[in-house]
A and B are shown apart, each in its own frame.
Chain A
Amino acid sequence: MDYSQFLLMKPEISLALTLIVLLIADLFMGEKSKQYFQPLALVLFAAHTAINFCDCCGGSCMAGQSEAFSGMYITSNIHVFVKNMLNVGTLLVFLFSFEWNKKENKEHIAEFYLLMMATLFGMYLMISCGDFLLFYIGLETASIPMATLVALNKKRNESAEAAAKYILTAGFSSSVMLFGISLIYGSCGGSLYFCDVVKNFTAEPFQILAMIFFMAGVAFKISLVPFHLWTADTYQGAPTSVTAYLSVMSKGAAAFAFMVIMWKAFSNIDVKSTFVSWTNILWWIIVITITVGNIFAIRQKNLKRFLAFSSISQAGYIMLGLMSGTAEGMGSMVYYILVYLFTNLGAFGIISNIEDKSGKVGMDDYNGLYETNPKMAVVMMLAMFSLAGIPPFAGFWSKFFIFASAAQAGEYLLVFLALANTIISLYYYLLVVKAMFINKSDTPIATFKSDKMSLIGITVCTVGFLFLGFISQIYEQIIAWSFGI
């Protein structure tokens, strides 16, 4: 066996080492030194992020794709880049939850960090899978610890309810997906490697059936519309930092893996109908997802639920990147996830900060926020503008590129519908801005000072979604690393 292939798994290995070190540290730390666990975890994870980031940007770039374990594990620059994105996002979530962990989650601090990292590990495997077996293992490694994270707040009824809904729908969806995979195994030549499946995939009815089962299972994870019903309840009931994690990282990783599988395993270049077969299905899913997400977001009064529906419609936009099948499609999708990460985490950072200080998450509670906490209100407004896609912010550029990639494939009607939906989304994002700036309130949220950690996190997010759109090198680099069908 060639042990040098383990070197390709650098991100996984360093994450696993961090996890094990923290696990042992938690085991042997006494009662008094428990307070140092959180800084230790933050420092170790920041080191892991920095090492991988430097490794990605510091010249050790790979040429093309590399495989390990006879094609089961695939990695390339774009895979490593997506992993780095997830690292940064997780670090931001850790910063936001620092204060919450100290106050409300005293007994389970170690569990919070360890389970987060275990979930991240699963996402890593999911991103660089070259085989349905590794994909399944990654998906489950990502979703089982996620359920325990949702249930972390054992004393609150909502947390328990949200976790029950999450684990049951996750289990159901992954079993439906497995049924699809078993049919693929039988009908595509008895191999589960993507490169072997695609050779035998000729869009026969039986294979299409298998593919639809598979798509349904994955669509649950990305919360595309016919399969979105768990999203709002789980997002509302989970602790806010976990919601932020769930809405960005889990969705981004699953979307990337979905794209890679659709292109690698279900798009046979010799048989054109294979590509047509799933783009037709996806066309309808995208239209329904964006529309339903937007329409239901309008009537939400709880901000966590509101962002849940907004994230459903954002997932629809992310899926636009799949339609073209070119390197531009993949690049614009990764860029969209990157921008969405900073924007949505910025919004969630403020929401969790306010919830920590005042315990309020309703939209009416935000009335008059500008009077008492002007800086918070302005950052929240900018995040909402970026989510809606108003020009100078990064959200506009990511939407622009992803629409351009879909238009290149000739999907003009789809792009038009998505554009029309952007206008609807503008309405409800501005509702939040109106509540903060125009509405008056007798009992506004009192002026408060946030802790340093959240401030750092919110600043990073703000800088991210303000300036990411102007640094065109990032987008060009992502495109250069991407690949098509």
Chain B
Amino acid sequence: MIPVQFYLVISTLLFFIGVFGFISRKNLIGLLMSIELILNAVNINFVAFNRYLFPNQIEGYIYSLFIIVVAAAETAVAIAIIMNVYRRMGNETVKSIKELKN
């Protein structure tokens, strides 16, 4: 059986790829995808911990299911808002949203 550390390495990598993507992407949809990567890292963590450390519970599985559902709702709203930005500003890059400042 694969030891639990392997899963943690994968999830940590995925987390930092997501954080790096959130900082460096130029496209708003790209930012959204980076957030999804982080959430996937979280899901891997929950499921791996549950399977290996606490096999007679289901709390981690349930939590990851909730995360998937809520993330879907959040993405739907975010996509709608980004569409609105695209309609108003003409493109959907980070540079297009810079009007608000003093």
Q: Of the candidates B39, B46, B89, B102, which one forms a contact with A302 in the assembled complex, judged by CB atoms under 8 Å apart?
A: B102
Q: Are B35 and A237 in contact (CB under 8 A)?
A: no
Q: Of the candidates B34, B45, B73, which one forms a contact with A179 in the assembled complex, judged by CB atoms under 8 Å apart?
A: B45
Contacts of B74 in A (CB 8 A): 140, 144, 167, 171
| A-B pairs under 8 A by CB, number | 123
Q: Of the candidates B22, B38, B70, which one forms a contact with A136 in the assembled complex, judged by CB atoms under 8 Å apart?
A: B70
Q: Are B73 and A165 in contact (CB under 8 A)?
A: no
Q: Determine which residue in A137, A151, A186, A233 has the highest number of CB atoms from chain B within 10 A of its CB, and name it.
A: A186
Distance in angstroms from A258 CB to nearest chain B CB is 20
Q: Are B84 and A154 in contact (CB under 8 A)?
A: yes
Distance in angstroms from B72 CB to nearest chain A CB is 11
- Closest B residue, CB atoms, query A175: B38
Q: Are A186 and B45 in contact (CB under 8 A)?
A: yes
A-facing mask of B50-68, CB < 8 A → 1, else 0?
A: 1001100101101100110
Contacts of A300 in B (CB 8 A): 102
Q: Are A164 and B97 in contact (CB under 8 A)?
A: yes
- Closest B residue, CB atoms, query A176: B38
Which of A56-64, A155-163, A219-227, A365-373 forms part of the interface with chain B? A155-163
Contacts of B102 in A (CB 8 A): 299-302, 305
Contacts of B35 in A (CB 8 A): 168, 171-172, 175
Q: Of the candidates A137, A147, A164, which one forms a contact with B66 in the assembled complex, judged by CB atoms under 8 Å apart?
A: A137
The yes or no answer to A133 lying at the interface (CB within 8 A) is: yes
Distance in angstroms from A320 CB to nearest chain B CB is 28
B-facing mask of A233-261, CB < 8 A → 1, else 0?
A: 10011000000000000000000000000
CA distance A232 to B97 in the complex (A): 14
CA distance A233 to B80 in the complex (A): 19
The yes or no answer to B10 lying at the interface (CB within 8 A) is: no
Q: Which applies to chain B's interface (DSSP): helix, strand, loop or mixed?
A: helix
CA distance A182 to B31 in the complex (A): 22
Contacts of A154 in B (CB 8 A): 84
CA distance A36 to B82 in the complex (A): 33
Distance in angstroms from B25 CB to nearest chain A CB is 10
A-facing mask of B86-101, CB < 8 A → 1, else 0?
A: 0011000000010111
Q: Are B70 and A165 in contact (CB under 8 A)?
A: no
The yes or no answer to A421 lying at the interface (CB within 8 A) is: no
Distance in angstroms from B90 CB to nearest chain A CB is 11
Q: Are B38 and A158 in contact (CB under 8 A)?
A: no
The yes or no answer to A52 lying at the interface (CB within 8 A) is: no
Contacts of B50 in A (CB 8 A): 185, 190
CA distance A185 to B50 in the complex (A): 9
The 7 closest A-B pairs by CB, nearest first: A190-B54, A182-B45, A186-B49, A175-B38, A161-B97, A233-B100, A178-B42
Query: 5 A-B contacts, Cβ less than 8 Å apart?
Result: A133-B59, A161-B99, A163-B84, A186-B53, A190-B54
Interface residues of B, Cβ cutoff 8 Å to A: 15, 18-19, 22, 28, 31-32, 34-35, 38-39, 41-42, 45-46, 49-50, 53-54, 57, 59-60, 62-63, 66-67, 70, 73-74, 77-78, 80-82, 84-85, 88-89, 97, 99-102
